[in-house]
Every structure is written in C-alpha cells, then in structure tokens.
Amino acid sequence: MLSLALPRVSWAHRVPATAKLAGLLVLSLVLFPVKDPIILGGALAAVVMLTGSLGTSAMRQTMRFVVPLLFMVGLLLLFHIVFGQLRDGIAIVLRLLTMVLLANFVTMTTALSEMMALVEKLFAPFAKIGVNVRAVSVAMGLAIRFTPVLLTKSGLLFDAWRARSQKPARWRLVVPIGLAALDDAEQISDALRARGGVPSTRRSG
C-alpha cells in the first residue's frame, strides 16, 4: 500500500522521526496563539520553502492535500469580509495552512516503517496498564495488508455490477463489501489461531 511518505530520500528523511514530531508539536503550540498576519505569513512562506526544498513531487503532493481545504478557506474569508474582519480571517487562514503544511512535511519525510516503529515505542509504556501492545501491532499489520485485498474484491464487485446494469452501483454494493470484510475476518481469526494465536497480555506478563 502506498504511503504518503516520499520515496526519494531527502535531507529531512535523515532527521529522526521523534525529533520531527517533537518539533511539529512545539511549533504548533507556538503558532496557535499568534494573531499577527505578517508573522503568520512569514511562517507560511518558511514552510512553503521547506516543502520546496524537497523537490517538485513534494510540492505536487502538498497541493493535492491543500486543494480540498480551499473550499473551507474561501467560505471563511467570505464570512470575514461580510463581517468586516478581513485581517482576522487572513490570520486564521495563514495559521491553518502553516500548520497543515508543517504536519504534511513531517509525513512526507518519514518512512512508514519508521512511523510504525515509533508507534510501537509509544505504546510500550501502556503495556503496564493492560494494553496488549502485540495485538496493536498485529492489528495494524493486518489492516495494512487486507485493505488492498478488500479494495480488489470491491473492484471485482463493481465490475460485475457494471457488466449487468446500466445504473451506477453507488451504495448498493456496501452489503456485499461488508460481507467480504466479515467473511475475511472470520477466516483470518481461524488462521491466526491455527498459527499459535496472539498472546494475551496476561500470559506475556
């Protein structure tokens, strides 16, 4: 399954994931109370340059992320124009875009494997209060593995529908897709058990 992380290694890929996420957290907290459009504009320009330093494919992917937000941005600006607070509106939009782009930057420069390792590390302390960390990892792996499987099955159902009907299938196929998920889950649970199962928290101590 394709991750949103960029395949080509950049300088930012070599920064450890923990450092990038900590930086993201700190910068988000710092930016949140800022109301000056000039400072926020500067911050946005800096993040755009940061993204630009990753190359054109990074810019393209970022645009794909930002475009759906533009509807909300337009609505927001219109609202502020109507109420005569354009300056506030611009500040909100600039901060929103800066934070979104910054987070997107971290996602694009951190490999999926690195993120998964980090998730396991973050979950580890919860083992003491009874969270089955092993089960979390297994569930993550299964979901990543079986999403494309379920997608392929849904694709076949859509093909079958198109071969028989001129009407668009729309949501009529949700029941068979749901059935596929239920049946797969039943078989996978048998398969997991046949392979020794997932140790529960209590046994692994």
Partner 1 sequence: MERNIAYVALFAALIVVLGLLPKFNLLSGVPITAQSLGVMLCGVVLGAKRGALAVLLFLLLVAIGLPFLAGGRGGIGVFATPSVGFLIGWPVAAFVTGLIMQRSAPASILWRALVASVIGGIVVLYAFGIPGMALMLEKDLITAAGFAMPFVPGDIIKAVAAGAIAQGLYGMRPRALISVKG
Radius of gyration of the chain (CA): 23
Among 14, 128, 164, 170, binds partner 1 (CB under 8 A): 170
The HSE-up count of residue 6 (CA atoms within 13 Å, CB side) is 23
DSSP 10: -
Q: Is 182 in the site for partner 1 (CB under 8 A)?
A: yes
Q: Is 77 in the site for partner 1 (CB under 8 A)?
A: no
- Closer to partner 1 by CB, 45 or 139: give it: 139
Asked if residue 97 lies in contact with residue 42, where contact means CB atoms within 8 angstroms, the answer is no
Quick count: other Cβ atoms within 10 Å of Cβ 97? 19
Query: Pattern of binders to partner 1 over 103-142, x per CB under 8 A?
Result: xx-xxx-x-x--xx-xx---------------x--xxx-x
* Nearest Cα to Cα of residue 151 among 180, 172, 113, 186: 180
Instruction: Give the Cα separation of 145 and 184 in Å (integer).
Output: 12
User: Which residues of the shown chain bind partner 1 in the complex (CB under 8 A)?
Assistant: 1-5, 21, 24, 28, 64-65, 68-69, 72, 75-76, 79, 88, 92, 96, 99-104, 106-108, 110, 112, 115-116, 118-119, 135, 138-140, 142-144, 146-147, 149-151, 154, 168, 170-171, 174-175, 177-179, 181-186, 188-189, 192-193, 197-198, 200
